[in-house]
């Protein structure tokens, strides 16, 4: 049977319309991918709950923090950054965020460190970002150089093996030097001799929330030693002998052993959540505070327990033969030699260092999705060690 062309076109249009309607009825659209916020060991991310400032007395900007005032309420503290001249743009980004959210109210000084002299451009541009004073310090060569007791051939071979295992920065000499410097040498710099507290800030980080109290005064008044925002697992291949060396130190120095019920040692030794990490790291969970953000009391690092511990690790050579980072070294230090009650989660400070976040649920925060841990690939979610911290220590 022959149908005129107009009728064939109408029939085709009807068939296409029918197929479209069937597709709309039976097709289930894929939901928009949202950041995961539920964790195996937690009912939900605690940052989904409304976030408030810490309790107790807090010092406000109204308490006289004007720049240049020698009688201000500031205590002996500084914002601290190890940064290269070539990282100036990233440093400006970080300064603008922290000045906008916090330091324009309190005007704490910035202290910059480098293993090379800072350029005039670096000094000019950083000074333009703050009303606070800025200090530019050169790291002593003896603090930065590879120690004489490190075997160069073994170091090069170890760095090659780390790179083959995919350990980030494992074959970058300056990264090993940086980890060692931050682990046990930065607080010995003459420029910090009379400084007690510091807030570490790196280039290319973000701060999202208005912080309306003096965090250094909070640390001092509430007897806190160490403050963090992000708590992660480390790559066990980078630190296989760190925990065995730690146990050797504890056996050789029983005077530094604290009552375990007062410390975060169970967090350091957990083997339930990621048993493979504990096994590869020879008894260490690899949980650590991500030290690109840390607010801490240098009197702890200067104390005999930590100084003895760092010197033991330094002589063992793992800062170079492996990739012992300052993050696990600091974390083990405060986890073993300090009361857990003196370690504080700054849950109200919104922070990002790619690819991880600390995102509070607060009207004071902008540009940070509450409860977001990472905006990266799904495999990154298992790197969150906060559930272990909450399990063994709590959320204080």
Query: Sign of the C-alpha dihedral, residues 184, 323, 339, 296?
Result: positive
Q: Which helix (H) or strand (E) holds 254?
A: none
DSSP assignment of 176-211 equals: HHHHHHHHHTGGGSGGGTT--EEEE--TT-EE-B--
Active-site position among 87, 129, 294, 383: 294
Residue 294 a catalytic site member = yes
Residues 306 and 335: beta-carbon distance below 8 Å: no
CA–CA separation, 286 vs 319, rounded Å? 16
For the beta carbon of residue 102, count every other beta carbon within 10 angstroms: 22
**Consecutive H or E run containing 5:** helix 5-26
Inter-CA distances, 204 with 108, 337, 351, 352, Å: 20, 32, 11, 9
Which secondary-structure segment (H or E) carries 89? helix 88-98
Cα-Cα-Cα-Cα torsion 187, 189, 194, 196, nearest 10 degrees, comes to -20
Of 220, 213, 200, 240, residue with least CA distance to 321:
240
- Tell me the chain's radius of gyration from C-alpha atoms: 26
State the catalytic residues. 294
């Amino acid at each position: 049977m022959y149908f005129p062309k107009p009728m064939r076109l109408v029939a085709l249009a009807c068939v296409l319309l029918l197929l479209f309607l069937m597709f709309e009825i039976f097709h289930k659209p894929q939901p928009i991918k949202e950041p995961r916020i539920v964790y195996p060991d937690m009912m939900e991310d605690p940052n989904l709950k409304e976030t408030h400032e810490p309790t107790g007395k807090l010092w406000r900007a109204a308490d006289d923090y004007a720049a240049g005032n020698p009688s201000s309420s500031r205590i002996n503290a500084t914002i601290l950054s190890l940064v290269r001249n070539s990282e100036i743009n990233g440093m400006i980004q970080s300064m603008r965020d922290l000045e906008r959210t916090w330091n324009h109210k309190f005007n704490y000084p910035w202290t910059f460190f480098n293993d090379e002299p800072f350029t005039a451009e670096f000094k000019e541009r950083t000074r333009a970002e703050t009303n606070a004073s800025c200090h530019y310090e050169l790291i002593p060569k003896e603090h930065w150089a590879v120690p004489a007791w490190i075997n160069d051939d073994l170091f090069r071979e170890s760095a090659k093996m780390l790179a083959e295992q995919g350990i980030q920065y494992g074959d970058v000499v300056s990264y090993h030097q940086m980890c060692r410097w931050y682990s046990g040498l930065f607080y010995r710099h003459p420029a910090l001799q009379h400084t007690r507290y510091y807030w570490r800030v790196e280039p290319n980080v973000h701060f999202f929330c208005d912080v309306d109290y003096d965090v250094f005064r909070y640390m001092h008044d509430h007897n806190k030693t160490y403050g963090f925002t992000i708590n992660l697992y480390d790559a066990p291949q980078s630190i296989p002998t760190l925990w065995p060396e730690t146990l050797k130190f504890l056996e050789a120095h029983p005077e530094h052993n604290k009552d375990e019920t007062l410390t975060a040692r169970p967090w350091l030794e957990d083997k339930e959540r990621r048993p493979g990490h504990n096994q590869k790291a020879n008894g260490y969970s690899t949980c650590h505070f991500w030290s690109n953000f840390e607010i801490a009391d240098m009197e702890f690092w200067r104390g005999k327990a930590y100084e003895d511990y760092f010197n033991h690790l330094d002589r063992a050579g793992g800062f170079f033969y492996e990739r012992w980072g300052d993050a696990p070294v600091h974390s083990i230090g405060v986890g073993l030699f300090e009361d857990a009650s003196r370690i504080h989660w700054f849950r109200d400070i919104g922070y990002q260092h790619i690819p991880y976040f600390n995102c509070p649920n607060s009207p004071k925060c902008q540009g940070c999705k509450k409860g977001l841990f990472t905006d990266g690939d799904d495999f990154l979610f298992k790197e969150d060690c906060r559930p272990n911290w909450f399990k063994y220590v709590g959320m204080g």
